[in-house]
Amino acid sequence: MNRPYVFINVAMTADGKIDTFARKGAAISSQRDKERVDKLRAESDAVMVGGKTLLDEDPKLTVKSEILRAERVARGLSPNPVKVGIVTKADTKPDSAFLNAGPAAAVIFTTHQTSKDQLSLLKSRGVNVYVGASERVNLVNALATLKDLGIHRLMVEGGATLNFELIRLGLVDEISAYMAPMIFGGESAPTMAAGSGLERSEAIPLKLIHVERWDDGGVLINYLLERSI
């Protein structure tokens, strides 16, 4: 494949929400799930997020465990995986965690809607910036570029629009979901996959490969996607 192995990791409520209607990054993961996610990051070459997650939630995308960071270094890797942002207009603030938490390399795929001044700022901060000619980032090209950069295992941490587009295009190999024992409700609260949606005849088939019931009341579910390319 001319792309990395791609897996989406998500924490969601029992009603499938990944945030509340307020969309401020509500906590869903249990402590055990946070540790699992940290391990997944440590095992990945890069961690990717979409524009809304990048700009509204400003995630660090770093490995929290000192032990896991040390293990990466012992394997000849950087302490943290590469941070990747997919964002139409990359108005990332100079003091953002994405740019400052680390140490970690950063890559942003964006469009001509990002101003020249902002592009200069990002590049001056050491960000590897790729500007596409279309109105939205071409995800197929972005993943091919990441493969060329030496990214073989890519973890995707949302949001819902990026998740859906990657799945729709057949660019996802696996989904790992922690289902927390709680309900958010709310028609406007985001689910794991948003975007334009699909007709029933176009639904993406999944193959269940693993289920774990945890003592914290949550359930860990792993699926393989059968239409990945």
State the average pLDDT over residues 94-111: 95
- What is the DSSP code (8-state) at residue 53? I
Instruction: Determine the Cα–Cα distance for residues 149 and 38; give it in Å rounded to an integer.
Output: 23
Q: What is the pLDDT of residue 25?
A: 84
State the average pLDDT over residues 170-195: 96
Range name among 75-84, 108-117, 193-202 with the lowest pLDDT average: 193-202
Helix, strand, or coil (residue 32) = helix
For residue 89, is pLDDT > 80? yes
Q: What is the pLDDT of residue 210?
A: 97
Burial 184-197 (b: 16+ CB within 10 A, else e): beeeebbbbbbeee
Residue 91 contacts by C-beta under 8 Å, 6 or more apart in sequence? 55, 114, 118
Identify the H or E element spanning 219: strand 219-225
The pLDDT confidence band at residue 38, using thresholds 50, 70 and 90, is very high
- What fold is seen in the domain 5-225? Dihydrofolate Reductase, subunit A (3.40.430)
For residue 227, is pLDDT > 90? no
C-alpha angle 31-80-28 in degrees, rounded to nearest 5: 25
For residue 228, is pLDDT > 70? no
Q: What is the pLDDT of residue 229?
A: 59
For residue 65, is pLDDT > 90? yes
Dihedral through CA 95, CA 96, CA 102, CA 107, nearest 10?
-120
**pTM of the predicted model, to two decimals?**
0.94
**Domain ranges across the chain:** 5-225
Percent of the chain at pLDDT above 90? 92
Dihedral through CA 43, CA 101, CA 145, CA 51, nearest 10?
110
Q: Which amino acid, one-letter code, is at 40?
A: L
Q: What is the pLDDT of residue 39?
A: 98
Q: What is the pLDDT of residue 1?
A: 78
Instruction: Determine the Cα–Cα distance for residues 223 and 168; give it in Å rounded to an integer.
Output: 15
Residue 98 contacts by C-beta under 8 Å, 6 or more apart in sequence? 54, 58, 59, 60, 61, 83, 85, 92, 106
C-alpha angle 43-48-54 in degrees, rounded to nearest 5: 135
Higher per-residue pLDDT: 49 or 158: 49
Q: Residue 33's closest CA among 194, 174, 153, 157?
A: 157
Contact in structure between 12 and 177 (CB atoms under 8 Å): yes
State the average pLDDT over residues 82-92: 97
- The overall average pLDDT reported for the chain is 95
Identify the H or E element spanning 180: strand 174-180
**Model confidence pLDDT, tens digit, residues 125-143:** 999 999 999 999 999 999 9
Range name among 22-31, 163-172, 180-189 with the lowest pLDDT average: 22-31
Cα→Cα distances 7→94, 102, 223, Å: 29, 22, 10
